[in-house]
Amino acid sequence: MKKLIFVTGGVCSSLGKGVTASSIGSLLEARGLAVRMLKIDPYLNVDAGTMNPYQHGEVYVTDDGAETDLDLGNYARFTAAPISRANSITTGQVYREVINKEREGRFLGKTVQVVPHITDEIKSRIVAAGRDPEADVTIVEIGGTVGDMESVPFLEAARQLIHEYGRQDAVSVHVTLVPEVTGGELKTKPTQHSVKELQEVGIQPDVLVCRSASGLDESLRRKLAAFTNVEYEGVISAKDAPTIYQIPLVFHEQGLDQFLLAKMNVESRHADLRAWKEVVRKLTEPKKRVRIGVVGKYMELHDAYKSVWEALYHGGIGNDAGVEIVRIDSSRFEAEGADPGEILSDVDGLLVPGGFGQRGIDGMVAAARWSREHGLPYFGLCLGMQIMAIEWARDVLGWADANSAEFAPDADRAVVSLLEDQVDVKNYGGTMRLGSNDSVFKDGSKPALAYGSTRVSERHRHRYEFSNAFRGDFEASGLVIAGTTPDGELVESLEWPGHPWGVGVQYHPEFKSKPTAPHPLFAAFVAAALERGKKKAHA
């Protein structure tokens, strides 16, 4: 029978359930098993597409165009599991499906209830995620915290599946906090209460992953085992680590993967963790260092650009270099008397990520202009490529009023605009270009050289496009149209002529980067920044 591993959280949110689930997945893969990852979000939104980055963090986009929770990005970075809309479940999806079935009369007039109808829908989606004949284990992360009202139907569905599958085929991993109080003493009582809450809904955890600033000693682990009915070997200390990519190694050193396999009665090969050890070595002991400035509009919240940060670190791994990220709010460039050269004086490269809305745009344009004029390696992602178009139009073509139709709907020179067939569409969700699309690059262009190919598939999430109405003007003035869609209709990449590395892409390459396989564009960008730093040091 296929195996299930449920990952829940207690005490408080943001303890690292996603990293825990991902790390378990990477360890099982290292032992030769095929895993499938599933994230359950208890919110009523159908998906994360319309949620504010300040509230929810980034929206992670899959190949099939699903807008999902950022934890699916962790799954993709840590494991080889295929990620699609089937790997994301929300309360909104579940209730919408059940209500649709009720309206269609598929419940034959029965009273529709949370149990069994909602829980049956949840269970069917969980089972479907691991139905692939090649899949061995499905790891199910249940968002939120045990005790939250929103999580109750999902915990009940998990309880039923554990009962139906049996404890040998369905395992519970509970992530909790062991806080440190005044004097440095670690307290286990919050974890004990959290496990009690989980037991009250009918789930006995098999594993406790205990987050703490410092590690748990043997006496604390034995105390937790005694008070929670968890075997001592199943109490795992998850102290703070220099990088999240060390977590699989931390878990392996404590025997978590072997313990889970024994619980599920699964034989496997010896874990091959050489790739992870090399990743951690390059992150903690890099041979070089580089500083990358990121100019964006959601700088206050780390998770708003989660995949961008990780892809930059991966780019460093690809060059055996430590990447220090300098977060710069674009509003700094808009302040009276602001000097872009001073703001960017201590960085070796500049990245402008995606985003929506007018705020901070002029600051991004100012940063891009300085980068273009002074040879600072520049990488524009989605909005960052559109900023390149606006800046070039204003400064090189002399169109002071050039803008994006997103920010100035009535602009005469909207160098970034909706496609003609989208202009009158009121349902914004219907105008987004979402998911994988192919791009074709010019021979010899920097993207083509980085990829080692002139055709790639990358994920998109945007509504506005580079306007073809002005394409001839841009090309005549020297801007390089480095990439387009295969039919040549839509611009996918811009490149500054005669610049060390000035590249913008309309898509989001950060979504396909892994620590064990850095994305080629991020690796090439970091390499250019390293070269810039080297020249600056010898100047």
pLDDT bucket at 54, cuts 50 / 70 / 90: low
Query: How far is 126 from 162, CA to CA, in rounded Å?
Result: 12
Task: Inform me whether the pLDDT recorded for 182 exceeds 80.
Answer: no
Q: What is the mean pLDDT of residues 356-368?
A: 88
Averaged pLDDT score across all residues of the chain: 93
Cα–Cα–Cα angle for 169, 129, 272, rounded to 5 degrees: 65
Angle of helix 274-284 versus helix 306-318 axis, rounded to 10: 90
Active site annotation includes 499: no
- What's the gap between Cα 218 and its chain centre? 35
Active site annotation includes 270: no
pLDDT bucket at 76, cuts 50 / 70 / 90: very high
pLDDT bucket at 1, cuts 50 / 70 / 90: low
Q: pLDDT value at position 430?
A: 47
Q: pLDDT value at position 297?
A: 79
State the catalytic residue, choosing from 382, 462, 499, 519.
Answer: 382
Q: pLDDT value at position 109?
A: 87
State the catalytic residue, choosing from 174, 314, 460, 508.
Answer: 508
CATH no. of 3-277: 3.40.50.300
Task: Tell which wins on pLDDT, 494 or 421.
Answer: 494
CB atoms within 10 A of CB 389: 24
Task: Inform me whether the pLDDT recorded for 207 exceeds 50.
Answer: yes
Query: How far is 470 from 488, CA to CA, in rounded Å?
Result: 15
Q: pLDDT value at position 431?
A: 61
Residues 11-38 pLDDT 10s: 888 899 999 999 999 999 999 999 999 9
Angle of helix 71-78 versus helix 306-318 axis, rounded to 10: 20
- How many CA atoms lie less than 13 Å away from 440 in the CB half-sphere? 7
Task: Inform me whether the pLDDT recorded for 49 exceeds 90.
Answer: no
Residues 81-112 pLDDT 10s: 999 999 999 999 999 999 999 999 999 889 99
Residues 414-461 pLDDT 10s: 999 987 544 444 444 446 889 999 999 999 999 999 999 999 999 999
Q: Which helix (H) or strand (E) holds 4?
A: strand 3-9
Q: pLDDT value at position 539?
A: 67
The residue among 485, 298, 293, 476 whose CA lies nearest residue 380 is: 293
Q: What is the mean pLDDT of residues 290-296?
A: 95
Q: What is the per-residue DSSP string for 173-202?
A: EEEEE--B-TTS-B--HHHHHHHHHHHHTT
Strands 235-239 and 207-212: parallel
Identity (one letter) of the amino acid at 341? G
CB atoms within 10 A of CB 218: 10
- CA dihedral for 239, 241, 247, 249, sign (positive or negative): negative
Task: Tell which wins on pLDDT, 181 or 235.
Answer: 235
CB atoms within 10 A of CB 67: 22
- CA of 280: how far to CAs of 98, 240, 244, in Å? 45, 14, 9
Per the document, the length of the chain is: 539
Task: Inform me whether the pLDDT recorded for 193 exceeds 90.
Answer: yes
Domains 3-277 and 286-538 share a fold: yes
Task: Tell which wins on pLDDT, 259 or 426.
Answer: 259
State the catalytic residue, choosing from 58, 391, 458, 510.
Answer: 510
Please tell me the chain's helix, strand, coil percentages from 3-state DSSP, rounded to the nearest 5: 40, 20, 35
Q: What is the mean pLDDT of residues 199-204?
A: 96
Contact assessment for residue 147 and residue 10, using Cβ atoms and an 8 Å cutoff? yes
Q: What is the pTM of this model?
A: 0.94
Active site annotation includes 373: no
Q: pLDDT value at position 428?
A: 42
Core vs surface per residue 397-422: b (16+ CB within 10 A) or e: bebeebbbbbbeeebebbbbbbbeeb
Q: What is the mean pLDDT of residues 492-514?
A: 98
**3-state SS assignment for residue 379:** strand
Domain ranges, ordered by start, for the chain: 3-277, 286-538
CATH no. of 286-538: 3.40.50.880
Q: pLDDT value at position 51?
A: 77
